[in-house]
A and B are shown apart, each in its own frame.
Chain A
């Protein structure tokens, strides 16, 4: 059994230690957000956060994640990044979007006021095939503004 902390909840899962986190999230914990895209770390559809960093769930064996804080899109609640993606209608098929949100969340927690270049560079890991990029960029900018203003009103 392996102990994992996902979205603040501790789970004991009966999987082999080489099992990538993606399959534990999807098949053991029935969480849909992280998606299988390539299994190679080339597309970012599986992106989740581990201790505040965006990581590829498809490449990360669960054995490396003991005592780590794993966050998925299910654990965000409706937060400013998700809100911004909805406001910008930043999805077409949406298969890549949960990964986009998690990668953007990781950026904005580390750098609340990213430049356009920093956003594009940070998001470059994640692929979208529908061509929703302009809206995704707009959503990240909008989320940055929302999170920035939130920090202003909260002393």
Chain B
């Protein structure tokens, strides 16, 4: 019998240690090559750093089937497909032979949140390395089996072949291997020039099921004996539930139970429609004591600007520069914005023998497990969170809180599975919003049209109130014994929260950037796609155009003049070329350009677009949109295009239409009529996305790269089309009409 080989044995038997071309330091990312590189902690391993055991990521069954595990979640961004491509590429297998298990506290690594465009850097890089190492171990095991040098073997389609024609599958080889070993930094990856799958468009594995009525979402879960429940939300922050008679509702058809704990109120029924009717009856019957806790919508930005702030220096650059000849100053703002998922949040929970199992579309199964455990006063090991897809979330929406509803209600119905889906008005009024923000900037250009000074401040609440303790759950304040609520905290740079992308990528001789972190939150806020980057990039890229205009320089030329990063320059040039920036203009049409590198660490994205303004209404009509993106090594290029197209449309919707409305007590944006978003007649005439190929370079993520540039490109095009410079998002038709005049 062949002994089980350890990694150490294999390395001693001649495992070649060669570097792979992924590096962690962003500054040297443009450097090419994959020559010898000392193994060490500086080599990026993604989430293998925290979870180094290979079998936490990849297992090979005796029949040769491979299962890949990721702690990240499919949010509609195409994660599953991209991770399968990575694993199949490095394992030399058909992706169809690989099963993928996504975030589940009982089965997968703790990879925190699926957020911040980190999935490919964290999980993609981990699986890339783990798969390459497993492939290496399998090959080395085959070398021992056949008694030939490993480098004489070839691998294809999950089989290892010797030069003499003998072959063996991964299954029998894996049976001789122990994959419960730590990954080794510095093991070789395949040469990017040989990639068959990574970098090639692959149809998304989840799309066919979604187009044929397959059970694709947590909303589609049907467990035996499952009950349906609805919560009756507090109508306003801090509202206190007064005594009222729940008897009539308890006697309604199908009603199983009314749950009441302090000001927390919910109803359980046999069928969903019965639960909804009972919820409506309870909503009508319940009496609340409300107080006015919300700010004045008309003046909320000025109020935020004046709240006590903790000043966090982001950067200070000082160098000799020519004398300024023109100085500008401007203020840019955005209001509270909704995630606005099309499918209201949903969860299913079941409490069996003291253990709570929750099927959830949270972005972080492990943090949610901690939060639910503390909310329910259970030990964390008695809570299991399993990710199941939901409607797109775009950040911290109602996903976690509806899991809190399901778990609280399921606890009162031991043994029974309970499904809770929020109603539309609950989603609109209860989700944590993307926070209102202000940026103020002063800048100066010299006689040669170069920026000589830059002074930038941004005012924002936190962008992260994702729950990891019960005190951060929506239900906490309604329960009789609320848990302590942790104080809000800033997200430190280099990623940043409100200050994300407040540091310009431009090479400026003198610059000061300060983040004014405001602890007091007039409104419940948390992470919304791209966090502060949307407002900061909108502000910086609008102001770049304002300075370019003051200097009398073409805005694309002006940007290139202030950029030393070659990859940034390449993306800008590609977008300008594909757009035809230097070509002929169409009368009546405005054009705008903007660029950013997300977080100055992630993907590079430039957007050029055209628009027209209907002078009778002030309505902006988007024309041609052209984007260029550098996401590092592309896995699924069509997935990257899909994400950037989505970022452009979603950002255009934020920029043209969106603001949460409220009075002093309640949220008034209760449905899609009170919170309009972009509909088909208003989408651009065309959107095209061009990818800069970067084989072998680190993954940079994609999902949040396009939002900021799109907003600024619209503002710049509006200025170009009409002469009006708008600095306060959204650019609603009445606002544009007032600014343009008729």
- What is the chain A residue whose CB lies nearest that of B683? A133
A55 on the interface (CB 8 Å rule)? no
Residues of A within 8 A of B543 (CB): none
Q: A45 and B687: CB pair below 8 A?
A: no
Q: Which of B276, B392, B642 contacts A135 (CB 8 A)?
A: B642
- What is the chain B residue whose CB lies nearest that of A44? B342
Known contacts A36-B343, A123-B680, A127-B672; A134/B212 CB under 8 A = no
B657 on the interface (CB 8 Å rule)? no
- Taking residues whose C-beta sits less than 8 angstroms from the other chain, chain B's interface range is 35 or more
Q: How far is the CA of A155 from the CA of B138 in the complex (A)?
A: 58
Q: A91 and B680: CB pair below 8 A?
A: no
A26 on the interface (CB 8 Å rule)? yes
B324 on the interface (CB 8 Å rule)? no
5 nearest A-B pairs in the assembled complex, by CB-CB distance = A93-B76, A131-B649, A93-B392, A131-B646, A94-B210
Q: How far is the CA of A120 from the CA of B680 in the complex (A)?
A: 5
Complex interface residues of chain B between 74 and 107 (CB less than 8 A to chain A): 75-78
B217 on the interface (CB 8 Å rule)? yes
A111 on the interface (CB 8 Å rule)? no
A134 to chain B, nearest CB (A): 5
Count CB-based A-B contacts (< 8 Å): 171
- What is the chain A residue whose CB lies nearest that of B208? A86
Known contacts A93-B391, A94-B76, A98-B210; A132/B645 CB under 8 A = yes
Residues of B within 8 A of A20 (CB): 273
Known contacts A27-B273, A39-B424, A93-B391; A129/B340 CB under 8 A = yes
Known contacts A37-B343, A135-B642; A95/B203 CB under 8 A = no
Q: A89 and B207: CB pair below 8 A?
A: yes
A interface, over-half SS: loop
Residues of B within 8 A of A123 (CB): 680
Q: A129 and B642: CB pair below 8 A?
A: no
Known contacts A15-B273, A40-B671, A42-B671; A78/B212 CB under 8 A = yes
Q: How far is the CA of A72 from the CA of B683 in the complex (A)?
A: 27
Q: How far is the CA of A30 from the CA of B207 in the complex (A)?
A: 20
B167 on the interface (CB 8 Å rule)? no
B416 to chain A, nearest CB (A): 16
Q: A93 and B389: CB pair below 8 A?
A: yes
Per the CB 8 Å criterion, the residue count for chain A at the interface is 54
Q: Which of A32, A37, A72, A135 contacts B220 (CB 8 A)?
A: A32
- B residues sitting closer than 8 Å to A (CB atoms) are 75-78, 203-204, 206-208, 210-217, 219-220, 222, 228, 253, 271-273, 276, 340-344, 389-392, 394, 421, 423-424, 638, 642-643, 645-650, 653, 671-673, 677-681, 683-684, 686-687
Contact with B along A130-148 (1 / 0, CB 8 A): 1111111100000000000
B556 to chain A, nearest CB (A): 24
Q: Which of A26, A30, A45, A82 contacts B211 (CB 8 A)?
A: A82
B interface, over-half SS: loop
Known contacts A27-B272, A89-B642, A132-B645; A124/B207 CB under 8 A = no
Contact with B along A69-101 (1 / 0, CB 8 A): 000111000100010011001011111111001
Residues of B within 8 A of A42 (CB): 424, 671-673
Q: B647 and A95: CB pair below 8 A?
A: no
- What is the chain B residue whose CB lies nearest that of A133? B683
A51 on the interface (CB 8 Å rule)? no
Residues of B within 8 A of A31 (CB): 213
Q: How far is the CA of A74 from the CA of B642 in the complex (A)?
A: 26
Known contacts A16-B253, A128-B342; A89/B213 CB under 8 A = no
Residues of A within 8 A of B394 (CB): 129
Residues of A within 8 A of B673 (CB): 42
B673 to chain A, nearest CB (A): 6
- A residues sitting closer than 8 Å to B (CB atoms) are 15-16, 19-20, 23, 26-27, 30-33, 35-40, 42-43, 45, 72-74, 78, 82, 85-86, 89, 91-98, 101, 119-121, 123-124, 126-137
Residues of A within 8 A of B421 (CB): 36
Q: A30 and B222: CB pair below 8 A?
A: yes
B689 to chain A, nearest CB (A): 10
Q: A131 and B648: CB pair below 8 A?
A: yes
Q: A94 and B681: CB pair below 8 A?
A: no
- Name 8 A/B residue pairs within 8 A (Cβ), A-sorted: A27-B273, A89-B638, A93-B343, A97-B210, A98-B211, A127-B679, A129-B392, A135-B645
A107 to chain B, nearest CB (A): 12
- What is the chain A residue whose CB lies nearest that of B338? A129
Most buried by B among A31, A91, A97, A133: A133
Residues of A within 8 A of B424 (CB): 37-40, 42
Residues of B within 8 A of A72 (CB): 213
Residues of B within 8 A of A137 (CB): 680, 683
Residues of A within 8 A of B686 (CB): 134
Q: How far is the CA of A35 from the CA of B390 in the complex (A)?
A: 11
Q: How far is the CA of A134 from the CA of B212 in the complex (A)?
A: 21
Residues of B within 8 A of A134 (CB): 645, 649, 683-684, 686-687
Residues of A within 8 A of B212 (CB): 33, 73-74, 78, 82
Residues of A within 8 A of B649 (CB): 131-134
Residues of A within 8 A of B216 (CB): 32, 94
Q: How far is the CA of A87 from the CA of B262 in the complex (A)?
A: 52
Q: How far is the CA of A120 from the CA of B272 in the complex (A)?
A: 33
Q: Which of A78, A95, A131, A133 contacts B343 (CB 8 A)?
A: A95
B178 to chain A, nearest CB (A): 39
Q: A37 and B211: CB pair below 8 A?
A: no
Known contacts A130-B392, A131-B645; A86/B344 CB under 8 A = no
B642 to chain A, nearest CB (A): 6
Q: How far is the CA of A78 from the CA of B212 in the complex (A)?
A: 8
Q: How far is the CA of A95 from the CA of B648 in the complex (A)?
A: 19
Residues of B within 8 A of A130 (CB): 76, 392, 646, 650
